[in-house]
């Protein structure tokens, strides 16, 4: 196989020469780093059983998966594993999916709070632009997510196959997913931060890796979901859930200890649609809503909120989406 510069830049050509079993073993070797990141950030606890993990929303201990468990998930999809690594999905992510958001969000918030900075160059720019800056930084809430109990109540749904003006097709509650078994820990492959840059409508941004273009900018959630479902290059990919996104923040902060809270997100991208989550239609909301991240420079907060997916007036310019390859779901 030719060892071109693109393969060397993304550090994948040596992995592509491995058999599926060898590739699974090599990637699962990242497990210990993911354990250190989640434990040192305070996301995981030392449980009464003596194991490291978390207590899920049903009150059950969920131990951090061992090496064998991770390798088994990777080995279960040998063809998909090789294809997606060839597209740059070479980073292992282990997500505490079964943790209640009321536990996970405050722990990530605290880790972000550790990165707060005393200087704020944006303040002068905003004031010169006529914006009233009333609060430089909310020490208690650098990460704002209002519906912190939505996963327990069932208001927050996961993995819609389509979204429309009725209940999103295929979506389930977290409790329903956990009841299916072996879902408390999500084993996923993601692209490293340097490979996440989205491409614009004219294709000027981003790089095609292994025949796969990054997801385009400025699309509606329904269009992103259609791309993931229909385009062969995106086979096996799912949109980020809020748990995936928060774990990526922990991962990014651990890998970049010098960054501030302002740059806590991988690729410094603050407008991401979390396609793995949505809200069903209610009497108060005329449409399904997908979770969406955005950064508020006036308070220096990262907000995660929902937006109706297909309002005619909704401006999706500059929005993007991220996807992960979830193994074993």
Helix axis angle for 242-255 and 101-113, nearest 10°, is: 30
The count of domains in the chain is 1
Q: Say if 246 falls within a structural domain.
A: yes
Rounded CA separation 106/91 (Å): 25
Rounded CA separation 249/306 (Å): 19
C-alpha distance from residue 131 to each of 50, 271, 295, 297 (Å): 52, 20, 15, 10
Bridge partners, 63 (sequence order): 53
Q: Say if 190 falls within a structural domain.
A: yes
Q: Say if 18 falls within a structural domain.
A: no
Amino acid 99: pLDDT: 97
Q: Say if 196 falls within a structural domain.
A: yes
One pLDDT digit (tens) per residue for the chain, 329 residues: 344 444 434 444 445 578 888 899 999 999 999 999 999 999 999 999 999 999 999 899 999 999 999 999 999 989 999 999 999 999 999 999 999 999 999 999 888 877 665 444 444 444 555 554 444 445 567 788 888 999 999 989 999 887 664 556 788 999 999 998 889 999 999 988 654 554 444 445 567 888 998 888 888 888 899 999 999 999 999 999 999 999 998 988 887 766 555 555 554 455 788 889 988 665 454 445 677 777 766 666 777 877 544 444 455 666 788 899 998 76
Q: Say if 24 falls within a structural domain.
A: no
Q: Say if 141 falls within a structural domain.
A: yes
Which tokens hold the place of 273? 């649609």
DSSP per residue over 145-190, as a string? -S-TTHHHHT-EEE--SB--SSSPBT-B-HHHHHHTSS-SSEEEEE
pTM of the model: 0.83
Amino acid 178: pLDDT: 94
Rounded CA separation 158/287 (Å): 16
Q: Say if 192 falls within a structural domain.
A: yes
C-alpha distance from residue 31 to each of 27, 42, 77 (Å): 8, 17, 18
**Which H helix or E strand runs over 196?**
none
Which tokens hold the place of 39? 């434990």
- Radius of gyration over every alpha carbon of the chain, rounded to an integer in angstroms: 20
> Which domain, by its residues, includes 124?
98-327
Rounded CA separation 111/267 (Å): 18
C-alpha distance from residue 98 to each of 183, 250, 286 (Å): 7, 17, 29
Amino acid 329: pLDDT: 63
First CA to last CA distance, the chain? 32
Q: Say if 301 falls within a structural domain.
A: yes
């Amino acid at each position: 196989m030719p060892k071109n510069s693109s393969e060397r830049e993304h550090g994948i050509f040596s992995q592509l020469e491995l058999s599926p079993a060898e590739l699974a073993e090599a990637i699962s070797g990242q497990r210990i780093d993911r354990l250190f990141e989640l434990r040192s950030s305070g996301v995981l606890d030392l449980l009464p059983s003596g194991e490291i993990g978390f207590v899920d929303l049903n009150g059950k201990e969920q131990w951090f998966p061992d090496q064998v468990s991770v390798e088994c998930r990777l080995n279960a999809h040998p063809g998909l594993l090789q294809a997606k690594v060839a597209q740059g999905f070479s980073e292992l992510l282990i997500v505490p999916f079964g943790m209640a958001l009321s536990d996970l969000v405050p722990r990530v918030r605290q880790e972000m709070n550790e990165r707060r900075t005393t200087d704020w160059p944006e303040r002068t720019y905003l004031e010169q632009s006529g914006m009233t800056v009333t609060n430089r930084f909310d020490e208690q809430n650098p990460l704002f997510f209002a519906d912190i109990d939505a996963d327990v109540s069932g208001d927050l749904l996961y993995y819609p196959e389509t979204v429309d003006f009725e209940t999103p097709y295929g979506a389930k509650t977290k409790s329903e997913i956990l009841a299916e078994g072996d879902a408390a820990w999500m084993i996923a492959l993601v692209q490293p931060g340097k490979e996440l840059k989205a491409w614009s409508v004219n294709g000027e941004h981003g790089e095609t890796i292994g025949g796969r273009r990054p997801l385009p900018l400025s699309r509606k959630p329904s269009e992103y979901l259609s791309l993931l479902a229909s385009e062969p290059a995106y086979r096996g990919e799912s949109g980020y859930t809020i748990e995936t996104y928060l774990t990526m923040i922990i991962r990014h902060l651990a890998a970049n200890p010098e960054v501030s809270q302002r740059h806590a997100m991988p690729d410094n991208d603050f407008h991401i649609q979390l396609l793995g989550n949505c809200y069903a239609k209610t009497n108060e909301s005329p449409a399904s809503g997908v979770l969406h991240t955005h950064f508020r420079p006036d308070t220096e907060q990262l907000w995660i909120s929902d937006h109706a997916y297909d309002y005619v007036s909704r401006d999706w310019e500059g929005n993007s989406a991220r996807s992960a390859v979830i193994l074993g779901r």
